[in-house]
Amino acid sequence: MIDRYTREQIGAVWAAERRFDAWLQVELAATDALAAEGIVPADDARAIRESASFTVEAVQERERTTGHDVAAFVDVVAASVGEPGRWLHYGLTSSDVLDTATGVQMLEAGEIVCEGARAFRDALVAKAREHAETLCVGRTHGVHAEPTTFGLKLAGFAFEADRNLKRLEGAFDQAAFGKLSGAVGTYASLPPSVEERVMATLGLHAEDVSTQVVPRDRHAVVLARIAIAGGGLERFATEIRNLQRTEVREVEEPFGSGQKGSSAMPHKRNPILTERITGLARVLRGYAQVGLENVALWHERDISHSGAERVVLPDSTITIDYMQHLAVRVVEGMNVREDQMKANLELTHGALFSQRALTALVDGGMSRDDAYRLVQESAQRAWDEGIEFRELIGKAAPELDLDAVFDYGAYLKHVPEVLARLDELDA
């Protein structure tokens, strides 16, 4: 991922230095396990652990000769140890190291991603409670429907964020697998007990049957759920973008002192953060497709997945981490224009109370269709001609209790019990 969208902590997980270090963790854990099994002399295993080292530059230089990154790495580390280095990579195939090390890196990336998902959820919960009774218009098809509250709107996003947090936690947990079963998964070179020791050391699970690689459905789940979480962030971002439109202007992204919205038009305050979230969500969906394509490999393995994974696994986790960071900034720093929300509630001249008028007439004994036609005529006229719906429906149906019909409080009375469900998320 480009530096612009890479935050330091998660970028470090996928840096070349950390990648090779994860390989070394696997190699050292394997050598220690082999020593515990009596296959490698204990003194040699100790020497390897104490002396093994590499530099990224040395590995890359060696790879220019070998044309194989793992072989180059093994050569460099073995040379740093001396004679005991002959035991390094003993009985292993490249995928034993690569896939197990990837499991280690996925665990680290998952912790960061899930922490960000949790922060986004918690920010939404706090803001939803803050605006529990902030009335605003609810829209369907982009058209004014009925009053709601901004807190209730945000609570819906909070529960979606919680579902995405749980999905991400499950995805990274089921990807925390490695394998040391050899070239085609038969344990011909090393017994399963070595694999068990290594996985316990690294905090991973051993794949039950791995062929030569950890099955790629695990990685596909991670990429798919990251894309779904990205979709949730995009849904939130799209809402803010719509609410920031000049004609609506109910909510605005935070706009920093000294920030410029346009190079040409100084008056502009554009929703650039939420637009960025929206664009990056599209990238994540593409990565999810790559994950699905990587599931079907030839026979016990091929490496058609390898080059793609070098891009999509780091980039997907880096991207979702960055998007979550932006979303938290938006939630915590948004400018909620309550006066504009109140003003927008009046744009239809009260026609958004039409359902309450309809049900009141039905309660009074009128047939639903007759009541619908009567209310529709008055509501449409109010909207089209700018006449107050209360006045028109009062003349068309004088038996109505207008104060009961035109009561904003009716849209608030059940909000507290709905928002009380947010307590479950805190728990």
Q: pLDDT band for position 81 (50/70/90)?
A: very high
% of residues, the chain, pLDDT over 90: 90
Instruction: Give me the mean pLDDT over the 62-75 stretch.
Output: 95
Work out whether strand 205-206 and strand 177-178 pair parallel, antiparallel, or are unpaired.
Answer: parallel
Q: pLDDT band for position 427 (50/70/90)?
A: low
Distance CA 129, CA 176 (A): 36
Q: In this model, does residue 230 exceed pLDDT 70?
A: yes
Q: List pLDDT tens digits, range 240-290.
A: 999 999 999 999 998 777 676 666 677 778 889 999 999 999 999 999 999
Sorted by sequence, the CB contacts under 8 Å of residue 280 that are 6+ apart come out as 5, 230, 319, 322, 323
Instruction: Determine the pLDDT at residue 15.
Output: 96
Instruction: Give me the mean pLDDT over the 18-22 stretch.
Output: 97
Q: Which of 53, 193, 262, 367 is catalytic?
A: 262
Average pLDDT, the chain: 94
Instruction: Determine the pLDDT at residue 217.
Output: 95
Is 141 assigned a catalytic role? yes
Q: pLDDT band for position 211 (50/70/90)?
A: confident
Q: In this model, does residue 216 exceed pLDDT 70?
A: yes
Which pair of structure tokens corresponds to residue 314?
């780091």
Distance CA 112, CA 9 (A): 8
Instruction: Give me the mean pLDDT over the 194-214 stretch.
Output: 94
Instruction: Determine the pLDDT at residue 262.
Output: 64
Instruction: Determine the pLDDT at residue 91.
Output: 93
Q: In this model, does residue 380 exceed pLDDT 90?
A: yes
Q: pLDDT band for position 395 (50/70/90)?
A: very high
Distance CA 247, CA 188 (A): 70
Q: Which of 141, 257, 263, 299 is catalytic?
A: 141
Residue 136, SS3 per DSSP: strand
Q: Which of 58, 55, 34, 54 is nearest to 46 (CA)?
A: 34
Instruction: Determine the pLDDT at residue 1.
Output: 72
Is 94 assigned a catalytic role? no
Distance CA 46, CA 52 (A): 10
Q: In this model, does residue 27 exceed pLDDT 80?
A: yes
The CA dihedral of 256, 258, 262, 263, to the nearest 10 degrees, is -160
Q: List pLDDT tens digits, range 141-178.
A: 999 999 999 999 999 999 999 999 999 999 999 999 99
Q: Which CATH class is domain 1-90?
A: mainly alpha
CA 363 to chain centre: 47
Please give the backbone phi and psi of residue 94, each rounded to the nearest 5 degrees, phi first. -55, -40
Among 23-32, 41-50, 293-302, where is mean pLDDT lowest? 293-302
Q: pLDDT band for position 219 (50/70/90)?
A: very high
Q: How many CA atoms lie within 13 A of 30 on its CB side?
A: 29
Residue 338: other Cβ atoms inside 10 A: 13
Q: In this model, does residue 391 exceed pLDDT 70?
A: yes
Instruction: Determine the pLDDT at residue 218.
Output: 96
Among 55-59, 209-213, 389-393, where is mean pLDDT lowest? 209-213
% of residues, the chain, pLDDT over 70: 98
Instruction: Give me the mean pLDDT over the 18-30 stretch.
Output: 97
The CATH fold assigned to 93-347+414-427 is Fumarase C; Chain A, domain 2 (1.20.200)
Instruction: Determine the pLDDT at residue 385.
Output: 95
Distance CA 193, CA 191 (A): 5
Residue 216, SS3 per DSSP: coil
Among 119-128, 208-217, 321-330, where is mean pLDDT lowest? 208-217
Q: pLDDT band for position 62 (50/70/90)?
A: very high
